[in-house]
Structure 1
Amino acid sequence: MSCREQGRRGAGAVVTGRIPRAGDAAPSRLYAHGVLALLVLAYAFNILDRTMIAIVGQAIKIDMKLSDAELGLLGGFAFAVLYSVLGLPVARLAERWHRVSIISIAMIVWSGFTAACGVAGNYAQLLLARIGVGVGEAGLSPPAFSLIADYYPPNRRASAIGIYMLGGAIGTMIGAALGGWVAKHFGWRIAFIAVGIPGVVVALLIRAVIREPVRGALDADNVPVAAPGPIDWGEEFAELAAVTRSLLGQSDVRNMIFGLTLASVATYGMLQFSPAYFIRAFDLDLATVGVIFGVTSGASAAAGVVIGGFLTDWLGRRNAAWRGLVPAIGLAIAAPLYYFAYTEPDWRIASAILLFPGLFQYLAHGPTFGAVQNAFPAHRRATASALMLLFLTLIAAGGGPPLIGWIIDRLAAAKFALLPVATQSFATLCPAGKAAAGASAELVAACHDVLAQATREGLLVATAFLLWGGVHYALAALALRRKRAA
């Protein structure tokens, strides 16, 4: 049997190469829930290590005298460039090799590079360490989504994936609160080390506890897939092209991917610069800002991903169009809530408002990833997930923070140029957004106020991407309705 013929049955699941049989015992529900809990923990560390740069970003900006565009590169493109590129080969490896081992190795790599961020001596070294974090984190979600699909049946996958993505909210909460506190009392370098080392322990626990499941045994046809033959690179590229055509050729799936990607441009941009905004506009310390964003971002995201998964599974049984409508409505509500939060002059009220938009914004995650898993057979799910993450990472995670940082830099420069104290450019008189020691009181105030105003307006620009993403989810709902009718 050729590799391609085997691929039509599905890529293999077991390192030993044993062909899974339909009579193999299915995992118990309790064990499946335990596996999901460990994957949630892994994703929590994934997001925790990824977003630490946002929590301590203002301290790094001042310490290394960075612009917001440079800060945005650390939070965006530096992480995303290899994360997105390596996601595809990792996914192809996950279609034929031990997915649990891939996840464990990846965790060790990204945790080590997170700790290395704390010992970076300059901007270039920090940039390289962030690239290393992206290299490691590329190995989690594609195999994790594939594992979840083999532990949960199709009608429970959106909710299971919603629970998995709850790890992102947990990681955000822990990273914001712990990272902010450690950075305030011990410095931003120690904060990176403190969150990087425990990830290695979790990686070893996952490798010891999770069993590799039979692929495809819980699908509708209940036909487990066979072990793959030797790698044929021509067939690998052909398979990748076929999955890409299928992913972009389905109007409902394509629009859901576009919708989540556009909304995530806003998500990543706001995650990077919202903490900095509260420091710049309200003169809060790192620990206070960490608590604010640990509670507001983490709690609302947690509620959103879980509710979104369960709600769309429930409504989708009655009308498939709800799988697009729920995210579309959520994004339409989230955008104005963010506007009210960023234009509120009292930081306490602004913080309270921020408890709510994330709930509506994150309704989209479970339905979108669940739709991709359900649209592909078992031997293509990891690859399809990696292609989706390629869009999300390159465009949203890679482009969102630098774009919003660049907008803030441009707005600050334009606003500053209109002031009487602007004898030179904003970048010259206000390096890293602060006037040099010994500057006049007028210049100190001008640098502070201009940067705060520009940051607020940059965040408001980001909210427009939420509405744009909502339009694509509405188009996905129409496509789902047409598909159901056909």
Structure 2
Amino acid sequence: MAGAADRDALAMRRRGLTLALLTLTYFFSYMDRQILAILQELIKHDLQLSDTQLGILAGFAFALFYATLGIPVARLADRFNRKNIITAALAIWSAMTAAGGLALNFGHLLAARIGVGVGEAGSSPPSHSIIADLYPPEKRAGAMGIYSLGVVLGASIGTIVGGTVASFYGWRAAMFAVGVPGLILALAVYFFVIEPRRGLSDPDRVVENDQDTMPGLLAGFASLGRNAPAVHLVIGVTLTSMIGYGLTAWGPSFMQRSLDITVLQIALYVAPIGGICGTISAVGGGKLADRLARTRGLHAQSSMVAVLKLLALPFLAGFYLIGDPVIAVASYFASVLLANSYLGPTFALIQGLAPVRLRALWAAITLLVINLIGLGLGPTLVGIISDALRPQMGEDSLRYAMLIFAAVTPWAIFHYWRAATLLKRHAGTAVR
């Protein structure tokens, strides 16, 4: 008993370090996933690819394996050591990112991107589960907000490093530059992350220890499907992710084609400021969500996401409609500042609604839907729409393809509002 108590105390003492390493892992995950965005125009001309092929590489090829393998990995994470799973996954996707720099044609690059998807499937579900065990409900959104910095910083720093290296040494060198350091991080995760006891921060909730009695996959889907607020949160975050992945994957290409901004300018000016705005949004949004949960109830977190996304929508539309590059990019920064706070509160709410022993599975189910629809369809559909509009719109076809995607935002806002309504109605039963 004393040994278990000592291990619990060590896990809590190191939870800041654990959160930092998991966030850094998520950062590398998103950087390796999104590195194609800044390199697309260079790869397009070097390998003679269409926008549809680029969309498949950025979206469907990665998402199909990333999303579907997340389910079996989550089942392993609900049973076995989560730290070891994350370590192995990080090593795999980092090696495959570097291997992408050796591609000589579409097929080679497709295989490398599939490998990245296979590796990254082992990261987020066990990470969500560990964070939920280390932070209680009233602090969980803030912790998840910090974790979600991986998205913002991965995209921005990946653009900075990838764009700068590619400008001087080519896109292949950029692939190596972002892939190899992940192998070193894998060692740090293995040696310094402490595996916490399941349910450590939820002492009032019963944790089932009999592995044989754990519900199966279909039961996991059913348990989530019976929870109406969770269903609306999953739909809301899926639509938001589809829009975000589609626009993020093609943002640098749009700026190069329609705003005459170079790869190096995007890397040195746009990406750093965008990263700062996204960081403020993610961290500030997580802290605000925690405060709202304490003062108004958990439902206020979902309401916050809906309001901020509504305020961001005009600025997002302005990015694609304004012809002046300086004003257009400033409008983009404003939209990022307002809208990038959704991940922390959303994942925290879903983890709070999930049964303790099924947290990794619920995270994987959420990510399955998010990534098959959001990541799988987002970049791919933007590329298809852009190719379809090209005969009429020319180089501006990408501008209008992305504007069409931005117009889906009100649908996502509705589901966050509906989730807030249901959470408020059932106040006191969300965490039990």
**TM-score of the superposed pair, with normalisation by structure 2:** 0.94
Alignment of 1:39-438 (within 5 A): 39-221=22-204, 226=209, 228=211, 238-317=215-294, 318-415=296-393
The alignment status of 1:484 with 2:427, answered yes or no, reads yes
Q: Distance in 2 between matches of 1:58 and 1:454?
A: 15
Aligned-residue sequence identity (percent) comes to: 39
Q: CA 1:174/1:271 → structure 2, altered by over 3 Å: closer, same or farther?
A: same
- The counterpart of 1:469, out of the listed 400, 412, 416, is 412
Q: Distance in 2 between matches of 1:376 and 1:345?
A: 46
CA RMSD across the alignment: 2.0
Unaligned runs of 5+ residues in structure 1 are 1-17, 230-234, 416-449
Q: Distance in 1 between matches of 2:149 and 2:386?
A: 30
**TM-score of the superposed pair, with normalisation by structure 1:** 0.84
Deviation sequence 1:40-89 (CA, Å, 0-9, x none): 11111001100001110111111122111111111000110110010000
Q: Distance in 1 between matches of 2:115 and 2:382?
A: 23
CA contact (8 A) 2:233 2:350 kept: no
Q: Distance in 1 between matches of 2:178 and 2:408?
A: 31
Deviation at 1:224, TM superposition (A): 5.8
Unaligned runs of 5+ residues in structure 2 are none
CA contact (8 A) 2:306 2:417 kept: yes
Letter paired with 1:386: A
Deviation at 1:24, TM superposition (A): 5.4
Query: What does residue 400 of structure 2 align with?
Result: 457
Letter paired with 1:384: W
Aligned residues: 428
Q: Distance in 1 between matches of 2:71 and 2:87?
A: 18
CA contact (8 A) 1:296 1:354 kept: no
Q: CA 1:89/1:293 → structure 2, altered by over 3 Å: closer, same or farther?
A: farther
Q: Distance in 1 between matches of 2:153 and 2:174?
A: 17
Q: CA 1:184/1:30 → structure 2, altered by over 3 Å: closer, same or farther?
A: same
Deviation sequence 1:326-347 (CA, Å, 0-9, x none): 1111111222101112222221
CA contact (8 A) 1:22 1:217 kept: no
* Greater percentage in helix: 2
Deviation at 1:19, TM superposition (A): 13
Deviation at 1:222, TM superposition (A): 6.2
Q: Distance in 1 between matches of 2:94 and 2:80?
A: 22
Deviation sequence 1:348-381 (CA, Å, 0-9, x none): 2222222121122222111110011111232110
- If you compute each CA radius of gyration, which structure gives the higher value, 1 or 2? 1
Letter paired with 1:378: V
Helix, strand or coil for the counterpart of 2:333?
A: coil
CA contact (8 A) 2:71 2:361 kept: yes
Deviation at 1:208, TM superposition (A): 0.7
CA contact (8 A) 1:292 1:351 kept: no
Letter paired with 1:291: L
Deviation at 1:20, TM superposition (A): 8.9
Q: Distance in 1 between matches of 2:317 and 2:3?
A: 53
CA contact (8 A) 1:217 1:223 kept: no
Q: Distance in 2 between matches of 1:322 and 1:124?
A: 47
Single out whichever of 134-143 and 363-372 deviates more from structure 2.
363-372
